[in-house]
Homo-oligomer: A and B are copies of this chain.
Amino acid sequence: MKTRDRILFTSLLLFNQEGEQNITTVDIANEMDISPGNLYYHFKGKESIIETLYTDYDKQLTLLLNQSMENTLSVEDHWLFIYVLFEEIYKFRFFYLNVADIMFKYPDVERRFRRLLLLKIKTIEALCKSLLERLEVEVDEGDIRFLAENIVQSMMYWFAYQQLVRPQEKGEDLVHLGVYHILSLAAPYIGINQDQYLAIIKKLYKKT
């Protein structure tokens, strides 16, 4: 691994574990056993590391969100899609554990984070629509929009909330539980097919 990539890898690890606000570039250099000068040769400060990490995250998430809209999906496909999305959020969870603070400190990240958020809402809205159509449920646009915003908000703060309610739980288990929770949010909209839908997602939850 090249030094530049190792810096990014180590930063991500430390930010996720300790919180971005508790880690300096000196901590990162120490953890890697390199000099602060060597780190500085690659990144001119923490801001530059954060922005590079954010660019990685934004690129991967945008790709994922754009792909999802290509065709109508089965419940199993939705499960997989939300799962991959959650894994990506988990990988970069430090952005979500202190959103307000990070947005305040890094205005460039804030601007792009907000744009990504709108794309997320739009995509999840399209997915909810496709899911409900496939299950032959008639729902009005306002309800779908409401459900989508609720899903996006829940996903966004999932790890922060779980850290409070279930501090002992392992990250991987929280990803599984999160996917199950998110898909459950759609259940009450489904009406008579609700039990069948819940049985499918419960099965997927237990299998993983």
Contacts and interface: CB of A to CB of B under 8 A. Distances in A.
Interface of A: 19, 21-22, 97-101, 103-104, 113-114, 117, 143, 146, 150, 153-154, 156-157, 160-161, 163-165, 184-185, 188-189
B150 A185 contact: yes
Number of copies of this kind of chain in the complex: 2
A182 to B, nearest CB: 10
A113 B101 CA distance: 20
A166 to B, nearest CB: 11
A114 to B, nearest CB: 6
Contacts of A99: 160, 164
> Counting chain B CB atoms within 10 Å of each CB, which of A101, A113, A117, A163 scores highest?
A101
A161 B156 contact: yes
Contacts of A104: 19, 22
Given A150-B185, A156-B157, A157-B153, A164 B98 contact: no
A184 B21 CA distance: 36
Which 4 pairs show the lowest CB-CB distances between chains A and B?
A: A188-B188, A157-B157, A97-B100, A153-B161
B160 A100 contact: yes
Nearest to A158: B153
A164 B96 CA distance: 12
25 contacts: A19-B100, A21-B21, A21-B101, A22-B104, A98-B98, A98-B100, A98-B101, A99-B160, A100-B160, A100-B163, A101-B101, A103-B163, A114-B164, A114-B165, A117-B164, A143-B188, A146-B184, A150-B150, A153-B154, A153-B157, A153-B161, A154-B154, A157-B160, A188-B188, A188-B189
A119 to B, nearest CB: 13
